[in-house]
Amino acid sequence: MLPITNILPQVINCLSNDNNLVLQAEPGAGKSTALPLSLLDAKWLGNKKIVMLEPRRVAAKSIAYYLASQLGEKVGERIGYQIKNDRKVSTKTVLEIVTEGILTRRLQNDPELSDVALIIFDEFHERSIHADLSLMFAIEVQQSLRDDLKILVMSATIDTDEISEYLDGAAVIKCPGRQFPVTVDYVSNSNNRSSNDFGINKHQLVNQVSGALRDVLARDAVGDVLVFLPGQADIKRCLADAETIFSDQPNVIFLPLYGALSIEQQERALAVDPQDKRRVVFTTNIAETSLTIEGVTCVIDSGLEKVVVYDPVSNMTRLETNYISKASAEQRKGRAGRLQEGRCIRLWSESKYNSLPDFHVEEICSADLSNLLLELAVWGQTDYENINWLTAPPKSNYDTAKQVLISLGLLNELGKVTELGNRASKFGLEPRLATMLLSAGKSSGKGEEFELEIACELSALLSAGDIFYDNRDADIVERLVALQDYKSDRKGALKSYPIKQATIEQVLVSIRTLKSRLKISTKHSNFTLTQLQQCVGRLLLIAYPERLAKRRAENSNRYLLANGRGVCLHDTDTMFGSEWLVVSDCNAHKKEGMIFTAAAIERSDIDASIGSKIVEENEYQLDDKKQKIIGRKVVKYQAITLESAVLADIPNEDFQKCMNSLLQKEGFKLLNWTNKCEEWLARASWLGEYIEQFPKISKKTLADDVDNWLLPYISKVKSLAQLKKVNLFELLIGILPWEQQQLLEQEAPVNYTTPSNKKVVITYDKNQGPTVSVQLQEMFGELKSPLIGGGKVPLRFELLSPARRPIQTTSDLANFWKTSYFDVAKEMRGRYPKHRWPEKPLMEKAGRSIKR
């Protein structure tokens, strides 16, 4: 009997009396299977159904088949499912298991969810953007349209208090799991991985996995093994290595399990081998939860996972390999103890485990938010501050996504959804690809349906991930050519290209779906290489306008993107030498990212596509050697210079703009910026921090305001030599009205006058404050430190010896004379016996140092 059975009456009773419930059930409890079945006959269902959200499509389908078999039925009767491009439901369906995007789309299309009584959010700890968004929408529906809608949030590892509060104080039920003891072994040695060498040390990971497998297969005679690895490439390397090393063990079979495999391939990894061979399944974090893998008694855990990280500055993402959280580590370990006592081998140290975060970072905090914002805008939510976030994303990421959607025409300047945005949201594509699809053929002159069909293929291809196993060559056109060949000759194409068959089959299904939604013929068309080359670059530019890339130099593989980032092609890439590219996918590293997929584009197509956004302007820079201003006429698109030509002379009407531009670039070194100017700025900048009625002045504020205080007074200047003769100090003083000039003189004076009537310059130091360096004897009779800055700041005195060296620093003269002066005087009498060091300095006349 499953542990969940003992609490089912409590769950049923709670859902009968309340609308919201949080269930924390440990691994093996049966929450994803026994619980949904127990609710099928609930009276409160009436004629409505239960929708259960599963994060992964393989889990959704697997659970649906399992539950249907428990009822002795076929899938599509009382138990149904819907995942991308695959749906099995009927009028009899009471429980429908769906993946995340499906639920979001259903809520947008039918906010009342008129045929739904309960939404179950399973494995909510994964905290994907879609899960967060769907829960937000469901709560709003419950509060405003359907006060009878019930919501059940389930997971083995979640912060139940946080979710309960979000669900308006929902009840929390906790259930133990069915878990046998699992022994944990840590593999730690001198060569153990550091936290930043994942990409470099991939071969070490292979060796660690094979070493752990060798130990397991030799030590344990029975039981399947589950090996957790960060990504697909790691799985392939480790699987190939294992097949070679253990080729003498015919009773062991090695299988992969990751999201890009076909459903059939994934199901093979989940099922017990029909020949009763011992299985070693190499998997990503797809197998952490939901999926039941029969027969596993040992887990080998790399402790790593692939994470997509969004960079709002470049508007691109990069794939990072990071350590998992403690919650994920426990989930993985638990897979070994479902059937009997098990073993977990962690390829990392126990101290590393102790340093792991409790939970992983929510996807909403590190992902591209453009799709989320479009869904929110369609829903009617556009104010960041008023959105009912479970976890609020970084405001900078939100604002960047908003600007992307505005640039694509999906939102207006106020952030409201446009007609194009409404249409784009219905395709289930990323906003960029939906925009490309809806814009295809409109103004290209290539023929609307012709280009539209290619856009369908391109959208499906980019949405599915790379169809090639070896992605060293980045040309997206080559992938489209492979797709054409596959449509006409599957076997031949599989021999000619490194095609992932499961992925390309998914692409074909998606193409038919997109064509159907656009109401064009769903029959497969075949396009020539010339036709593809005519369209693909231009189509990509619609979707990724900031990723137009220009080659930096002849015979170079390095490119500058329009957004200012650098990227590069592999040295052997077939597009090497292309002057212009549009990059659809690359790794957003801080310096230069590798291009994964791109297409070449002609300059004529660039002008035709984004001509209205290309600007022509004059730019100026200073030639330090010649001390001459050089002007250039440039044609630019964002950070890319398309054309550039030297100007013979600076046009008269451009001089003010030229000076403004140069001052922003070069600073004040162009001007007659003297020490007197620097000292005035130091005083004015300091005083602005202490007196409210005095303006805050800095080099930046001066540079930003040159149109007012400088440029009008140098309109007749035509050369740098003339500019250097301008009396800049007088212009600086003129910034302040008379009253503020007087305030500056009084509260931030240039000099301090000593008791001996000697004027000493005050240094306005940013760190130390206003400081006077003066010989100690000049200060005899000065009772206390004078106050400046509106009476708020005492002068700081650097008191000097007869040799003009600092012997004491103080901002409190009164205390100095009473205390430390006597220690100073005692020491100085020995060094400088001819100089005055009186016992009563305040009674002495200030001035000379030497005794008479």
- Quote the pLDDT of residue 71: 95
Q: Which of 160-174, 188-202, 302-316, 392-406 has the lowest mean pLDDT?
A: 188-202
- Quote the pLDDT of residue 195: 41
Same domain, 306 and 279: yes
Q: What is the domain-level CATH number for residue 25? A: 3.40.50.300
| pLDDT tens column, 668-698 | 888 899 999 999 999 999 999 999 999 999 9
Residue after which a domain boundary falls, among 125, 155, 175? 175
Percent of the chain whose predicted confidence (pLDDT) is above 90: 67
Nearest residue to 766 (alpha-carbon basis) of 669, 677, 685, 678: 685
Higher pLDDT, 191 or 567: 567
Structure tokens given for 691: 């007196």
Determine, yes or no, domain membership for 280.
yes
Determine, yes or no, domain membership for 661.
no
Determine, yes or no, domain membership for 809.
yes
**Does the pLDDT at position 38 exceed 60?**
yes
| pLDDT tens column, 158-202 | 889 999 999 999 999 999 877 789 999 998 754 444 444 344 467
Structural domains in the chain (count): 5
| pLDDT tens column, 736-775 | 999 999 999 999 999 999 999 999 999 998 888 999 999 9
Same domain, 26 and 89: yes
- Per the CB < 8 A criterion, the answer to whether 546 and 564 are in contact is no
Determine, yes or no, domain membership for 36.
yes
| For residues 120-147, average pLDDT | 94
Determine, yes or no, domain membership for 70.
yes
What's CA 813's distance to the chain center, in Å? 55
- Quote the pLDDT of residue 199: 42
Q: Which residues contact 275 (CB under 8 A, 6 or more apart)?
A: none
Helix (H, G, I), strand (E, B) or coil at 197: coil
Same domain, 243 and 330: yes
Same domain, 241 and 329: yes
Q: Which residues contact 194 (CB under 8 A, 6 or more apart)?
A: none
- Quote the pLDDT of residue 618: 86
For 678-729, give the DSSP string. Answer: HHHHHHHHHHTTT-TTSPP--HHHHHHTHHHHTGGGSTT--SHHHHTTS-HH
Same domain, 211 and 284: yes
Averaged pLDDT of the chain: 89
Determine, yes or no, domain membership for 157.
yes
Residue after which a domain boundary falls, among 428, 443, 477? 428
Buried b (16+ CB within 10 A) or exposed e, 2-17: bbbeebbeebbebbee
State the residue range of the domain holding 381: 368-428
- Quote the pLDDT of residue 443: 54
Tokens 């990751």, located at residue: 258
Strands 592-600 and 615-623 turn out to be unpaired
| pLDDT tens column, 708-733 | 898 888 877 767 788 888 999 999 99
Helix (H, G, I), strand (E, B) or coil at 645: strand
Same domain, 220 and 338: yes
Structure tokens given for 694: 């005095």
Same domain, 313 and 192: yes
Q: Which residues contact 773 (CB under 8 A, 6 or more apart)?
A: 760, 763, 798, 800, 806
| For residues 62-73, average pLDDT | 93
Same domain, 14 and 126: yes
Distance, in Å, from the CA atom of 657 to the CA atom of 652, rounded to the nearest integer, reads 10
Determine, yes or no, domain membership for 485.
no
Percent of the chain whose predicted confidence (pLDDT) is above 70: 96
| For residues 616-630, average pLDDT | 78
Band of pLDDT at residue 448, cut at 50, 70 and 90 = low
Same domain, 355 and 231: yes
Q: Is the pTM of this model over 0.95?
A: no
Residue after which a domain boundary falls, among 567, 592, 612? 612
**Does the pLDDT at position 841 exceed 70?**
yes
Structure tokens given for 597: 């997929």
Strand partners, 83: 86
Same domain, 206 and 154: no
- Quote the pLDDT of residue 194: 44
Band of pLDDT at residue 650, cut at 50, 70 and 90 = confident
Same domain, 144 and 283: no
- Quote the pLDDT of residue 625: 74
Tokens 């046009």, located at residue: 651
| pLDDT tens column, 492-529 | 999 999 998 888 999 999 999 999 999 888 888 889 99
- Quote the pLDDT of residue 395: 94
Determine, yes or no, domain membership for 678.
no
| pLDDT tens column, 141-152 | 999 999 999 999
Conformation bin of residue 289: beta by default, left when phi > 0, alpha when psi is -120 to 50 = beta
Same domain, 147 and 234: no
